[in-house]
């Protein structure tokens, strides 16, 4: 948890610079290039995590890999992380910067699980309803979850909207135990 807080502070500092220079999207793209490379390369991940490899060597590797692919501000930021021995935070900084950018642009990331893929029309309808519900632009991340036998489970941050068949059956079971009406209403 401590690393996430530290990574968030670095991401906020970078966001401040990016905002001043009107280059939020360019820096976000640079960070995504770096993040994808780290996620895709075990060797690069081990390099940034190693306390044995010297600062100069790490800097040379990053300059060789990303020097022509990322902007000056991003290169300077990575250099700062390496000088402060915080390069191990880079994947978390990338994630935190992306979250900050989404917050700034009013984009809400929503995770949805269902038993089968949604059609384009269903996905569009769901996005439209979630945007009306939240008042923000929604970026939908859908995943098939075979544990869900029908319906959907929607996660918006810490909030879970469970419209699965399992949950509806649980609610019917609870009503039956309480002696209430067995019909469900869509409220």
Residue 184 lies in a domain: no
* Contact (CB, 8 A) for 108 and 134: yes
∠ Cα 79 82 88 (to 5°) = 130
* Contact (CB, 8 A) for 79 and 34: no
Q: Give 125-158 pLDDT, tens digit per residue.
A: 989 998 998 889 999 999 888 888 888 888 888 8
Could you tell me the pTM of the whole model?
Answer: 0.73
Q: How many domains does the chain have?
A: 2
Q: Crossing angle, helix 2-20 and helix 90-104, to 10 degrees?
A: 50
CB atoms within 10 A of CB 139: 12
Residue 81 lies in a domain: yes
pLDDT at 64: 94
Q: Which residues of 51-66 are buried (b: 16+ CB within 10 A; e: fewer)?
A: eeeeeeebbebbeebb
Domain boundary residue, one of 63, 86, 103: 103
Q: How far apart are CA 171 and CA 185, in angstroms?
A: 11
Write out the residue range of the structural domain in which residue 76 sits. 2-103
pLDDT at 181: 63
Domain boundary residue, one of 57, 77, 103: 103
∠ Cα 108 120 170 (to 5°) = 70
Do both 95 and 128 map to the same domain? no
Q: How far apart are CA 54 and CA 145, in angstroms?
A: 44
Give the chain's length. 187
As to burial, measured by CB atoms within 10 angstroms (0-12 exposed, 13-18 middle, 19+ buried), residue 2 is exposed
20: domain CATH number?
A: 1.10.520.20
Helix (H) or strand (E) holding 131: helix 120-134
Do both 10 and 83 map to the same domain? yes
Q: What is the mean pLDDT of the chain?
A: 89
Q: Give 41-84 pLDDT, tens digit per residue.
A: 999 999 999 999 999 999 999 999 998 999 999 999 999 999 99
pLDDT at 137: 93
């Amino acid at each position: 948890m401590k690393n996430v807080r530290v990574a968030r502070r670095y991401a906020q500092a970078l966001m401040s610079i990016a905002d001043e220079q009107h280059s939020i999207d360019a820096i976000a793209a640079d960070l995504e290039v770096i993040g994808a490379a780290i996620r895709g390369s075990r060797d690069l991940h081990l390099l940034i995590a190693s306390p044995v490899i010297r600062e100069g060597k790490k800097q040379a590797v990053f300059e060789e890999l990303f020097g022509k692919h990322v902007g000056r501000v991003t290169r300077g930021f990575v250099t700062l992380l390496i000088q402060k021995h915080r390069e191990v935070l880079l994947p978390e900084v990338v994630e935190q910067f992306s979250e900050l950018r989404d917050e700034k642009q009013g984009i809400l990331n929503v995770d949805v699980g269902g038993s089968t893929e949604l059609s384009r029309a269903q996905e569009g309808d769901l996005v439209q309803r979630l945007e009306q519900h939240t008042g923000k632009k929604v970026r939908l991340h859908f995943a098939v979850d075979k544990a869900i036998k029908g319906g959907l489970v929607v996660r918006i941050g810490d909030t879970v909207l469970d419209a699965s068949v399992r949950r509806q059956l649980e609610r019917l079971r609870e009503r039956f135990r309480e002696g209430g009406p067995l019909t469900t209403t869509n409220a």
